[in-house]
Amino acid sequence: MDFSENKNIFLQIRDWLADQIMQDKILPGKKVPSVRELAVDLEVNRNTVMRSYSLMEEEGILENKRGIGFFVATGAKRSLLKIQKQAFFAQDLPELLHKVKVLQLNSEDLALLIQSIQSNDHENQ
């Protein structure tokens, strides 16, 4: 994993793990890598990974089973979807809309984006 200097490492680890859950690579009820194991794999301090896991536990994404480890919570994907949608509408979308306006993009320029959104419409029905 390559870390960006623009965001705290523990948040980047949280985002990576959240993405794994959203893509069903780690399913509810399954154990996530131990703090020590992930710290070694990512070459970061164990406290950094622990901070990520603690945040995800506070968000209801992970459950800590003392002496056993951290597991993906039952409603983790639904919770993550809610959290990430709120963040998208609050942070990412305003920036995207600003760029659309500044660059004077039209529906033809954004055809791929529109098609992707429309495919989500069909999947959610």
For residue 113, the model assigns a pLDDT of 87
For residue 96, the model assigns a pLDDT of 93
**Model pTM?**
0.81
Q: How far, in Å, CA of 47 to CA of 51, rounded? A: 6
For residue 5, the model assigns a pLDDT of 92
- In this prediction, the residues of the chain whose per-residue pLDDT falls under 50 are none
Q: How far, in Å, CA of 76 to CA of 48, rounded? A: 21
* Residue 13: other Cβ atoms inside 10 A: 23
Buried b / exposed e along 21-56 (16+ C-beta atoms within 10 A): beeeebeeeeebbebeebbeebebeeebbbbbbbeb
Q: Give the three-state DSSP class for 125.
A: coil
For residue 33, the model assigns a pLDDT of 96
The answer to whether the beta carbons of residues 40 and 9 sit under 8 Å apart is no
For residue 111, the model assigns a pLDDT of 87
Residue ranges per structural domain of the chain: 9-75, 77-123
For residue 2, the model assigns a pLDDT of 87
Q: What is 9-75's CATH number, 1.10.3660.10, 3.40.50.800, 3.30.920.30, 1.10.10.10? A: 1.10.10.10
For residue 125, the model assigns a pLDDT of 62
